[in-house]
């Protein structure tokens, strides 16, 4: 398997290599969208609005826990891919062992700090009197299981960083399948409601973590979970932090942006909020497909950055063409059948009209979103920590003033278009930074941004 992975890193045609790394990631991210929908579906069968409210309110907490896993996983993973390109295989083992044990330690810290503060956390998430108990149950289980949840997101990235894209995908799908099966059991057989759904999430992440750990310990020639390889050197810490921290900050910013955006929409009534909720769920699928593409090629870009920069340029060029093709294909589908897509969720004519309008506007930035994700991936893969940090905050920093100004100038339409404007600003900033860094990344990198 490891020889095969090196073939895709070094010798496979670029299109074939991109497909090898990106398609499993695209399928895995798609499965996560399906899982999130089904998770709410199973709880929805109990016909208790307070339970669904609790599930929604705990999303920011889950996002933070996931972000901690990505901090170590993406920071360590991109470093591993670069080290593989330099043939520094012992260093790869040090980094993979560090990622494994540091994730567990961070999870234990989250559990130890969070459990005594459960009530303030639940209040901070916005729980109402009706949803407080259910929200507290979910938060309790997530805090208890945080070491396994953080470990899952870390190891998924670490395994993918060595080129084992199919193994990474299998772990993600395993987590989704186990979660769905356990959801059905805890809801229909054990009647555990919210605490059961939270338990299912924790157990599914544990099962997938064991799967990844087995691969690292017994299948991989490069990675390890052996404690004897653990090393927290200054070089490892600096490389993990300078890429991992921007990823963490980006996750926090995205959660904050969602809360702020919803507060502006509330001014225009529940139909506006509901219409955005429906359209954003529909937009999530193509966004995650493009995200899977861009995140999937990061190990290939990182490896090529240290081993073959011409191949890195070719990889980026092919990925841009793929983003364009996918964005156009999804855009045509949306503009032809947007009313029917919104109608899958509601039969309210007002909601269908508003949702279709929001879908048309936000889909305009699908290509831009794909490109900004690719820019961020390039900066992560090539260890450009400052550029990665700027990309992690630019959209959030831009959206807040744009929302305020657009809302004052053009009301509801301004609020909706503010998302496209913020995405466009992030795209321009990323393109400018890529242009500025072109000589550092690749002598003829200029052709990619002209």
Mind listing the pLDDT tens digit for each residue in 230-284?
A: 998 999 999 898 888 887 887 777 667 766 776 787 778 767 777 776 777 778 7
197: tokens are: 């759904």
Any alpha helices (H) in 215-348, and if so which ranges?
234-266, 270-296, 298-307, 309-343
Residue ranges per domain, the chain? 1-232, 239-450
* Per-residue pLDDT at 444: 46
pLDDT of res. 3: 62
302 contacts 81 by C-beta, under 8 angstroms: yes
Q: How far apart are CA 257 and CA 29, in angstroms?
A: 21
pLDDT for residue 349 is more than 90: no
Return the pLDDT at 134. Answer: 87
Predicted local confidence at residue 74, as pLDDT = 87
Which of 236-240, 251-255, 415-419, 423-427 shows the lowest per-residue confidence on average (mean pLDDT)?
Answer: 251-255
Give CA–CA dist 22/297, Å, rounded. 6
Looking at 56-70, 177-191, 248-262, 402-416, which range is the least confident one? 248-262
Q: Can you read off the two tokens belonging to residue 338? A: 């947007």
Dihedral sign computed on CA atoms, order 123, 125, 128, 134: negative
CA angle 113, 118, 121 (to 5 degrees): 95
Mean pLDDT of the chain: 85
Structure tokens that stand for 351 in this block: 């909601």
Residue 385 pLDDT: 81
Question: Which range has the worst mean pLDDT, 97-101, 182-186, 247-251, 253-257?
Answer: 253-257
Kindly indicate the confidence band of residue 394, based on its pLDDT and cuts at 50, 70 and 90: confident
pLDDT tens digit string along 110-168? 999 999 999 999 888 777 788 889 889 989 999 999 999 999 999 999 998 888 888 98
Q: In this model, does residue 88 exceed pLDDT 60?
A: yes
Structure token digits, residue 149: 């949840």
Average pLDDT over residues 382-396: 84
Q: Could you tell me the pLDDT band of residue 449, with boundaries at 50, 70 and 90?
A: very low
What percent of the chain is predicted at pLDDT more than 70? Answer: 92
Question: What is the rounded CA–CA span in Å between residue 252 and residue 184?
Answer: 31
Q: Burial letters for 166-180: b for 16+ Cβ neighbours within 10 Å, e otherwise? A: bbbbbbbbbbbebbb
| 69-78: pLDDT as tens digits | 989 998 899 8
Residue 8 and residue 167 in contact, taking contact as beta carbons nearer than 8 Å: no
User: What residue has token string 């092919």?
Assistant: 318
How far apart CA 71 and CA 207 sit, in angstroms, is 21
Closest CA to 353 of 278, 414, 277, 275: 275
- First CA to last CA across the chain, in angstroms? 38
Give the sign of the dihedral formed by CA 288, CA 294, CA 296, CA 298.
negative
Rounded Cα gap, residues 47 and 43, in angstroms: 8
- CA separation for the pair 51, 58 (Å, rounded): 11
Coarse DSSP helix, strand, coil percentages of the chain, rounded to the nearest 5 percent: 85, 0, 15
Largest CA distance in the chain: 63
Q: Which residues contact 215 (CB under 8 A, 6 or more apart)?
A: 159, 164, 167, 171, 223
Question: pLDDT: is 55 or 445 the higher one?
Answer: 55
Assess whether pLDDT exceeds 80 at residue 363: yes
pLDDT in tens, 295-333: 889 889 989 888 888 899 999 999 999 999 999 998 888
Q: 191 is written with which tokens?
A: 């009647």
What length does the chain have? 450
CB-based contacts of 227, cutoff 8 Å, min separation 6 = 97, 101
The answer to whether residues 326 and 290 touch, using CB atoms and an 8 Å cutoff, is: yes
Can you tell me the distance from the alpha carbon of 445 to that of 312, in angstroms, rounded to the nearest whole number?
10
Tell me how far apart the alpha carbons of residues 420 and 408 are, in angstroms, rounded to a whole number. 17
Tally of CB atoms within 10 A around 112: 11
Both tokens of 7, joined, read: 């073939």
Within 8 A by CB and 6+ apart from 434, the residues are 375, 378, 441, 445, 448, 449
CA dist 169 and 79 (Å) reads 20
Residue 211 has pLDDT above 90, yes or no: yes
- Band the pLDDT of 450: cuts 50, 70, 90: very low
State the pTM of this model. 0.78
Q: pLDDT tens-digit profile of 4-63?
A: 667 888 888 999 999 988 888 888 777 767 766 677 677 767 777 777 777 767 777 887
Q: Which two tokens stand for residue 188?
A: 């229909």
């Amino acid at each position: 398997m490891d020889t095969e992975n090196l073939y895709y890193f070094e010798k496979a045609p670029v299109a074939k290599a991109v497909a090898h790394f990106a398609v499993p990631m695209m399928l895995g991210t798609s499965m996560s969208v399906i899982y999130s929908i089904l998770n709410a579906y199973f709880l929805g069968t109990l016909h208790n609005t307070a339970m669904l409210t609790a599930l929604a309110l705990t999303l920011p907490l889950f996002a933070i826990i996931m972000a901690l896993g990505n901090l170590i996983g993406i920071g360590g993973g991109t470093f591993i891919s670069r080290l593989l390109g330099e043939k520094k295989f012992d260093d790869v083992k040090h980094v993979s062992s560090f990622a494994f044990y540091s994730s567990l330690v961070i999870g234990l810290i989250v559990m130890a700090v969070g459990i005594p503060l459960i009530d303030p956390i639940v209040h901070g998430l916005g729980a109402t009197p009706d949803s407080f108990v259910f929200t507290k149950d979910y938060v309790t289980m997530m805090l208890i299981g945080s070491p396994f949840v953080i470990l899952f997101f870390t190891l998924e990235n670490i395994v993918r960083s060595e080129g084992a894209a199919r193994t990474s995908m299998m772990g993600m799908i395993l987590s989704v399948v186990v979660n769905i099966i356990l959801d059905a059991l805890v809801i229909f057989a054990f009647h555990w409601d919210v605490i059961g759904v939270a338990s299912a999430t924790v157990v599914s992440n544990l099962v997938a973590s064991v799967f990844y750990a087995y691969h690292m310990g017994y299948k991989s020639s490069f990675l390890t979970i052996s404690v004897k390889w653990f090393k927290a050197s200054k070089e490892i810490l600096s490389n993990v932090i300078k890429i991992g921290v921007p990823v963490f900050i980006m996750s926090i910013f995205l959660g904050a942006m969602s809360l702020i955006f919803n507060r502006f929409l509330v001014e225009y009534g529940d139909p506006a909020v509901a219409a955005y909720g429906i359209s954003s769920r529909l937009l999530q699928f193509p966004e995650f497909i493009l995200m899977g593409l861009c995140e999937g090629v990061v190990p290939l870009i990182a490896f090529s950055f240290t081993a073959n920069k011409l191949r890195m340029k070719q990889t980026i060029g092919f990925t841009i063409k793929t983003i364009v093709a996918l964005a156009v294909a999804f855009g045509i589908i949306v503009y032809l059948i947007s009313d029917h897509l919104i109608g899958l969720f509601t039969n309210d004519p007002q909601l269908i009209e508003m949702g279709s309008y929001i879908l048309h506007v936000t889909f305009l930035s699908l290509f831009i979103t794909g490109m900004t994700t690719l820019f961020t991936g390039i900066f992560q893969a090539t260890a450009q920590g400052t550029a990665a940090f700027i990309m992690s905050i630019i959209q959030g920093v831009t959206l807040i003033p744009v929302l305020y100004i657009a809302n004052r100038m053009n009301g509801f339409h301004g609020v909706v278009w503010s998302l496209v404007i913020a995405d466009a600003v992030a795209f321009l900033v990323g393109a400018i930074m890529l242009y500025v860094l072109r000589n550092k990344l690749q002598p003829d990198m200029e052709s990619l941004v002209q």
